[in-house]
């Protein structure tokens, strides 16, 4: 059998994944506790995790918001591909990404193509903070408050382009006002509905280090766990870029 030639000398990986740690921003508790310990005479050290399918850096399937498709309905090829990394760090808290923002980026860097991945860099990962006894905070974490997000017009645009995945370094691809409305009114977040259900574009949320990627040319790997009937899954998101 011919050996596969994987020459990574010209490339390096950028880790886009937040570390799982108790006290991290989450809508439900992440718990990590000892099951077996050599300190008490067990032969092994082992821990038990209690986590949501949507803890940390994770992907969403349409089933998450009432659609029919679960994660395992998607080909493994869905979870990797070339990226368009859109700099939106100039957006103020709570603002919407508008068509002119995307048009400006495409004029500078070239058009986004079908079957590519779009990653939205707001710089919001800098607000990811771990809650502990030394650094307590009251109310919701700053990471979950007043984040920017996609307008419906931009969500429709990406849907028409038939991109295969969209990612963000915020808690959700929708802006905070639409997220909050969905929580209180029972409606769906509009960008989620447009992309996940109407256009079959999967979503990856809570990324980090997007500022370390070029506007074009990075290659994303973001494989979910093989969970039966999953609405989503934590991923180890890595981007491959050239060393220069």
Domain ranges of the chain: 11-32+49-242
1: confidence class by pLDDT, cuts 50, 70, 90: low
pLDDT digits (tens, 9 = 90+) for 60-89: 999 999 999 999 999 999 999 999 999 999
Q: What is the mean pLDDT of the chain?
A: 93
CA–CA distance, 65 with 162 (Å, rounded to integer): 20
According to CATH, the topology of domain 11-32+49-242 is: Glucose Oxidase; domain 1 (3.50.30)
Tokens standing for residue 215: 């506007």
Helix intervals (H) in the chain: 99-109, 152-161, 176-185, 190-192
CA–CA distance, 184 with 181 (Å, rounded to integer): 5
* CB 57, CB 51: distance < 8 Å: no
pLDDT digits (tens, 9 = 90+) for 2-42: 767 777 888 999 999 999 998 899 888 888 889 999 999 98
CA–CA distance, 31 with 72 (Å, rounded to integer): 26
Q: What is the DSSP string of 110-175?
A: ----TT-EEEEE-SGGGG-----SSS---SS-GGGSS--EE-HHHHHHHHHHT-SEEEESSS-SB-
Tokens standing for residue 51: 């986590």
Task: Quote the pTM value.
Answer: 0.93
**pLDDT beyond 60 at 226:** yes
From the list 140, 194, 205, 124, the residue with the least C-alpha distance to 163 is 194
CA–CA distance, 78 with 75 (Å, rounded to integer): 6
């Amino acid at each position: 059998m011919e050996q596969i030639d994987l020459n990574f000398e010209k490339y390096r990986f950028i880790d886009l994944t937040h570390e799982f740690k108790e006290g991290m921003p989450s809508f439900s508790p992440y718990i990590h506790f000892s099951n077996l310990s050599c300190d008490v005479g067990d032969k092994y050290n082992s821990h038990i995790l209690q986590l949501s399918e949507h803890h940390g850096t994770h992907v969403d399937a349409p089933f998450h918001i009432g659609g029919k498709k679960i994660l395992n309905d998607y080909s493994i090829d869905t979870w990797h591909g070339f990226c368009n990394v859109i700099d939106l760090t100039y957006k103020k808290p709570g603002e919407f990404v508008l068509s002119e923002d995307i048009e400006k980026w495409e004029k500078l860097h070239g058009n986004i193509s079908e079957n590519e991945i779009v990653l939205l860099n707001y710089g919001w990962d800098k607000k990811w903070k771990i809650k502990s006894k030394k650094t307590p905070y009251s109310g919701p974490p700053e990471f979950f408050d007043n984040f920017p997000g996609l307008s419906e017009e931009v969500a429709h645009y990406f849907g028409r382009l038939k991109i295969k995945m969209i990612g963000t370094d915020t808690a959700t691809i929708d802006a905070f006002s639409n997220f909050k409305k969905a929580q209180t009114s029972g409606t769906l977040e509009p960008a989620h509905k447009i992309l996940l259900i109407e256009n079959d574009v999967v979503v990856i949320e809570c990324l980090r280090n997007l500022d370390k990627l070029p506007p074009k040319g990075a290659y994303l790997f973001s494989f979910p766990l093989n969970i039966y009937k999953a609405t989503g899954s934590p991923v180890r998101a890595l981007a491959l870029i050239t060393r220069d």
